[in-house]
Structure 1
Amino acid sequence: MQPIIPYYGSVTKCEEVPITFPPQHQNRQPGLEYMMNPLPIYDNPNYIGTGKLKHKTAIITGGDSGIGRAIAVAFAKEGANSVLVYLNEEQDARATKEAVEKLGRKSLLLPIDLREKKAAEQIIAQTLKAFGSINILVNNAGVQFPQPSIEKITDQQLETTFDVNIQSFFRLTRAVVPYLRSGDSIINTTSVQAYAGSGQLIDYASTKGAIVSFTRALAHNLAGKGIRVNAIAPGPIWTPLQPASWSAETVKTLGANTPMKRSGQPYELAPAYVLLASEDGSYITGQTIHVNGGQTMTS
């Protein structure tokens, strides 16, 4: 029986947060949540929304699963409708849509490859057609391809990593900004890798560092319009990207090297996104919130 720590209340169908995981690997990026064992915990039923995002519309890239699903559910509890942008993970996307709609909010599914130059315009057009406005943009899509050395990183891998992880952020943000108003918010998902880069994730860490700088510069640029721009830097979180990136043996002890000795679950990040999207974060811009189990305390 794997070690567990007690959780303070029921979390979906599970009452315990796992510390170790069964060996598992998926052969495609960005991974499929429904194939994971155990399933990630995306909802904390003890989190009760208070209407902080009522009547707002959020675009969430990578919204089908993992952190994106947890964000969509927390936003729905706070009253927001969501546009879930994803590559081709249909089963996961439908499950997220169902979770949002059970909470009384609407969700639009958009299977779009963010590497396509016209993707941003398509997302904007479909969002406005469905909801008429855009208030929150969460740039959350990402891929990572571990390599033992920089010599193993091909031009194709380099281009894919940068195109998905930072260039898509730039293009979609550029397209969204004209539709945002004072009080609206942009939130970018960076990573602990921007601050404590792994030798096996050189290209990935580089894009995550770029996201931090993008966030700071854009915050300066948009402050005069009352639009806030911030970032979240997750540590090791139990999402489909993990088994899709690492070997089965590595996955077993995901997060064991953090001071908290475990990986995080998607639901543990969602309240930080709510903070930055809502009036509660009205005096926060250009900042990065670290949700990483203490991984960078000594960095």
Structure 2
Amino acid sequence: MKNEKYTSQQDPRQVYPAPPYNQQSPIEPPGNDSQMHPKPDYGEASYQGSGKLNGRKALITGADSGIGRAVALAFAREGADILIAYLEEAADARETARLVEESGRQAVLIKGDIQQEAHCQHLIQQAVDEWGQLDILVNNAAFQMSHQSIAELSSEEFEQTFRTNIFAMFYLCKAAIPIMKPGSAIINTSSIQAYEPKPHLLAYAATKAAIANFTKALSQEAMEHGIRVNAVAPGPVWTPLIPSTMPPERYEQFGADTPVGRAAQPAELSPVYVLLASPEASYITGMIYGITGGKRLD
């Protein structure tokens, strides 16, 4: 795993491991970071902050691992305190908290199921109780499972996917906007699956398309309050979600079909979240930012 600071002289195809990814043992969903091979890079040894988010308070869902952990680390190194919302992987969440605290910022851990509106309201209220403000909301937590056909997809799982990926985002945005001040930012995590949906991810892809649409619509209303709303649409990213929800024949070649020829590491996504959260993005709202290894968002 590459841990040195990325430089423009390095070949992006070779900065990180490329397929095949030989995950040694099965991982039960929603996935555990400690069981992954190769280990994801969250930017521990490479991300260097410059004060872009000094004094900001951020709530990140799904911050225990994957993209959420990389964003939490980057935000903390940019000067933000972080509320880490997670479902059940307590060890992973504590590791994220350790990285935030090592960066000199406060980490608040809250466990719970964002499928429940009451819990989403609790998360927003907790930020207010801790800090008296919420400046950044990152809707990142997601649920996915892979199926060979629609016949294998139960109605219960279809509903769970929507409740986790899109209902929770609605609940959190609805609760957050009234207490967010002008200059605040909401960042949602969509996916290339919104634009190039794969049949084995039928439910997940549909929610990610809904997130892109929701982002564009909400951005118009939120700007009436001076709040920017954008989304990031990743391509293949090596996170615990992948080996825990896909059969080996899919994740072993994960990302090989991109022009870069590999999956992204979480550390490669966090700088875009930082940009969208920072005052430097004051004229950016209603946009979907693709981080796809060269695949187009059409």
Are 1:231 and 2:248 an aligned pair?
Answer: no
- Residue 121 of structure 1: how far off its partner (Å): 1.7
Given that 1:24 and 1:248 are in contact with CA atoms closer than 8 Å, whether structure 2 keeps it comes out as no
RMSD, aligned α-carbons = 1.9
The equivalent of 1:93 in structure 2 is 93
Give me the whole-angstrom Cα distance separating, in 1, the residues matched to 2:263 and 2:235. Answer: 8
Give me the whole-angstrom Cα distance separating, in 1, the residues matched to 2:25 and 2:248. Answer: 5
- Residue 147 of structure 1: how far off its partner (Å): 1.1
The equivalent of 1:255 in structure 2 is 255
- Residue 29 of structure 1: how far off its partner (Å): 2.4
The equivalent of 1:294 in structure 2 is 294
| TM-score, normalisation: structure 1 | 0.93
Given that 2:185 and 2:276 are in contact with CA atoms closer than 8 Å, whether structure 1 keeps it comes out as yes
Give me the whole-angstrom Cα distance separating, in 1, the residues matched to 2:23 and 2:76. Answer: 33
Q: Provide the identity percentage.
A: 43
Given that 1:258 and 1:295 are in contact with CA atoms closer than 8 Å, whether structure 2 keeps it comes out as yes
The equivalent of 2:176 in structure 1 is 176
- Residue 122 of structure 1: how far off its partner (Å): 1.3
Letter of the 2:101 counterpart: E
Deviation sequence 1:91-124 (CA, Å, 0-9, x none): 1000000001001001101111111231112112
- More displaced stretch, 231-240 vs 42-51: 42-51
The equivalent of 1:125 in structure 2 is 125
Q: What stretches of structure 2 of length at least 5 have no aligned partner?
A: 7-13
Cα distance 1:7–1:96, how it changes in 2: closer, same or farther (>3 A)? closer
Identify, as 1 or 2, the structure richer in strand: 1
Q: Indicate the SS of the match to 1:68.
A: helix
Give me the whole-angstrom Cα distance separating, in 1, the residues matched to 2:158 and 2:231. Answer: 23
Give me the whole-angstrom Cα distance separating, in 1, the residues matched to 2:283 and 2:176. Answer: 22
- Residue 27 of structure 1: how far off its partner (Å): 4.8
Cα distance 1:134–1:7, how it changes in 2: closer, same or farther (>3 A)? closer
Q: What stretches of structure 1 of length at least 5 have no aligned partner?
A: none
- Residue 56 of structure 1: how far off its partner (Å): 0.6
The equivalent of 1:17 in structure 2 is 16
Given that 2:3 and 2:45 are in contact with CA atoms closer than 8 Å, whether structure 1 keeps it comes out as no
- Residue 24 of structure 1: how far off its partner (Å): 4.4
- Residue 247 of structure 1: how far off its partner (Å): 1.3
| TM-score, normalisation: structure 2 | 0.93
Give me the whole-angstrom Cα distance separating, in 2, the residues matched to 1:267 and 1:245. Answer: 21
Letter of the 1:226 counterpart: G
Deviation sequence 1:251-289 (CA, Å, 0-9, x none): 221100111100000000000000000011110000010
Are 1:102 and 2:102 an aligned pair?
Answer: yes
Give me the whole-angstrom Cα distance separating, in 2, the residues matched to 1:272 and 1:170. Answer: 22
